[in-house]
Amino acid sequence: MNSIINDSMAFALPLFIIAIGGIYCEGSGVINLALEGLLGVGAFFGGLSFAMISTQLGTTTNSMIYLSLIFSMIGGGLFAILYALLAIRFKANQVISGVVINMLSVSLTAFLANQLNYSLFGQASNKFMLAVFPRVTVPFLNKVPVIGAFFNETYVFEYIIIAIALIMWFVLYKTPYGMSVRACGDNPQAVATAGRDVNKIRFSAVIISGIMAGIGGMCFAYSISTNFSPSIYVGYGYLAIAAYIFGNYKIGQTLLACLIFGFARTFGYLIVQALALPSTYSDLALTFPYIVTLVLLIFFSKNFTAPKGLGEVYEKSKR
């Protein structure tokens, strides 16, 4: 049971923080299909920073691991600016722009990883090797039945994500900025009438989505394969999108969706092991979260309510 909960949470929480970024972005009225690309570029920056610092120092420390998370947030935020320029400044089709950003991310990170590995480290590879992320055990709490598993040999980044998620929840629902973000998604004209700049608020929300995607992508890199590779993120950005749509753009409900996806993925691997299937069948387990997504969409899609202004380009002349 401990391993089931640990593995599920290690997948669900990075997915959750990516989804929170999507809630900010789409809550402001900007469709964000670019999450897949943003988390990949963010993880690329984090992986590159770790590889460069560890090479220079000749060793690895926990501080370097945490520093790579900061660089991943910076990388995701910077790449999000490109998407924001396309979708907001140049008023490009947001769906097409998001898909283009995703395609660009995969190609660009693979090319740069190959070139930088060869020129900086003398290696022919598109991967950046990472250290094992620190784990902690919380005394007493780890003895609590069932939920105690979350406090036993848990990745530190899981607690970091929970702390960030609480801050993001407070900002979105308890501050004037969060109210403005949500209002931009439902009634941007009212926001403009109140004297706020709709496009600036939306621009900032897109950048926030990039920052959140970056840290989520880096945590996936540490927990899935302890290396950065452009190929390990395929589908996770879209799964985060499914999570906040199923969560009806609410942070609490989105957490529930991410937990469902996380446990579905873990149970998929357990089924493969229980049936003693060849290792090649382990890829089949990766389909379980997507199968669950399809089932949830079939039964609950009528209850999903997107922001009223989602995907609509704001024009001052429409005021």
Tens-digit pLDDT profile for residues 115-128: 999 888 888 888 89
Asked if the model's pLDDT at residue 319 lies above 60, the reply is no
Number of H helices, E strands in the chain: 12, 4
Nearest C-alpha neighbor of 240 from the set 301, 302, 289: 289
Asked if the model's pLDDT at residue 281 lies above 70, the reply is no
CATH node for 2-133+145-318: 1.10.3470
Q: What is the pLDDT of residues 149-197, one digit of tens each?
A: 888 889 999 999 999 999 999 999 999 999 999 999 999 999 998 889 9
Domain ranges for the chain, please list them. Answer: 2-133+145-318
- Whether the Cβ atoms of residue 29 and residue 311 lie closer than 8 Å to each other: yes
DSSP 214-261: HHHHHHHHHHHTSEE-TTTTTTHHHHHHHHHHHTTT-HHHHHHHHHHH
β-bridge partners, 108: none
Rounded CA-CA distance 206/76 in Å is 10
Asked if the model's pLDDT at residue 279 lies above 70, the reply is no
